[in-house]
Amino acid sequence: MNDAIQTIICIGEATVELARGGDGRFALASAGDTFNTAIYLARAGQRVAFATALGDDPYSDAIVSLAAAEGIATNLILRVPGRLPALSLAGIDGMGQRRTHSWREAAPARDLFELPQWSRIAEAMTTARMIYFSGITLSLYSNVGLGRFLAAVELARAAGAKIAFDGNFRPHGWGGDLTRTRTVFAETLKRVDIALPAYDDEAVLWGDPSPDATIERLQAFGVNEIVVKNGPSSALVAASGARDTVPVPEVVSPVDPAAAGDGFNAGYLAARLNGRNAVDAAHAAHRLAGEVIRHRGSIVPRTGAAVH
């Protein structure tokens, strides 16, 4: 079998992040929800490519170097001369919640499916084993870009790729336009095989009264495998005609909640790709998410990032 068909393509944005540490100082890092998931998938032994657009500056070079060092294929990272990647400023507030402020309006990732080379991404998608993206990914693109992206997703799915999606709804990324957000999500969900939403996000966007309601709404769109992340205590899994609540093995007081969901998604998808059932995969996802939140920043040291 062609090795390309084994690749997971994660699509989205990688940003330059200035994160405030426990000593109050800022450190330079790279972040991005689908980028974080790509790293954890690669660490779990999966063949991963990351699709985005960056500039030709030293900070973009550093993001590409990090991806390569993590074993992620970088041939789908398009480079745009004269442009700069998005910048985010992150810290933990007095309530222990992570707060991020971003400058991304001119970032080249927003134009990924309008760049002259965009068809290279679309062609690669048709050879993938899985396509993974998020609501943040969708929020980047114009209507033209979204049309091209969703058409590419549909072609990839017809060619055999599984489509995995985390709603990851962030109102500011959509300019507060709930009507447009719901319309885009509705079109997207028609093309999704595995949904990995967080209940808190779904309640805000759709008004779902419970995780069960989220599952029923997603099933109405034709999504066959759903894992609803329900805060720090459990996940609700709907797959193969069954519905199971999977509790976390250990409640962890987070050092930094950043990327908990990204780690969960990677843990789940890696386990499923390795042939484990949905409930076992959710247990593995909880373990990885619990490890992620024990460390500051989105990417934990390699020694603490194994998927079991």
pLDDT at res. 118: 98
pLDDT at res. 225: 98
What is the set of domains in the chain, with CATH numbers?
3-304 (3.40.1190.20)
Kindly compute the dihedral angle of the four CA atoms of residues 29, 33, 38, 44, in this order, to the nearest 10 degrees: 90
Catalytically annotated residue among 111, 166, 208, 262: 262
Asked whether 221 and 186 are in contact (CB, 8 A), the reply is yes
The yes-or-no answer on residue 201 being catalytic is no
pLDDT at res. 2: 42
Q: Using CA atoms, how far apart are residues 198 and 76, in angstroms rounded to an integer?
A: 28
Q: Using CA atoms, how far apart are residues 141 and 134, in angstroms rounded to an integer?
A: 12
Q: Which residue from 12, 32, 3 is spatially nearest to 165, judged by alpha carbons?
A: 12
10-residue stretch averages of pLDDT, the chain, 308 residues long? 66 91 81 96 97 97 97 97 92 66 90 98 97 98 98 98 97 95 98 98 97 98 97 93 93 79 97 97 95 85 57
